[in-house]
Amino acid sequence: MEAKPEKLKQVLSLIFSHLKALETEVLAFRAVFATVKRLGVVSDLDERLHAATLTAEQKMSAKYDAPLENALKRIDESAFDELLVKLLEKWKPTDPVN
Q: Is residue 83 part of a domain?
A: yes
DSSP annotation of 41 reads: S
Q: Is residue 28 part of a domain?
A: yes
Q: Is residue 67 part of a domain?
A: yes
Distance CA 83, CA 20 (A): 22
Q: Measuring CA to CA, which residue among 56, 88, 84, 85 is closest to residue 70?
A: 84
Q: Is residue 95 part of a domain?
A: no
Quick check: pTM over 0.85? no
Range of the domain at 28: 5-90
Q: What is the pLDDT of residue 84?
A: 76
Q: Is residue 17 part of a domain?
A: yes
Express each pLDDT in 2-51 by its tens digit.
557 888 788 889 899 999 999 999 999 999 999 999 999 999 999 999 99
Q: Is residue 97 part of a domain?
A: no
Q: Is residue 44 part of a domain?
A: yes
Domains: count for the chain: 1
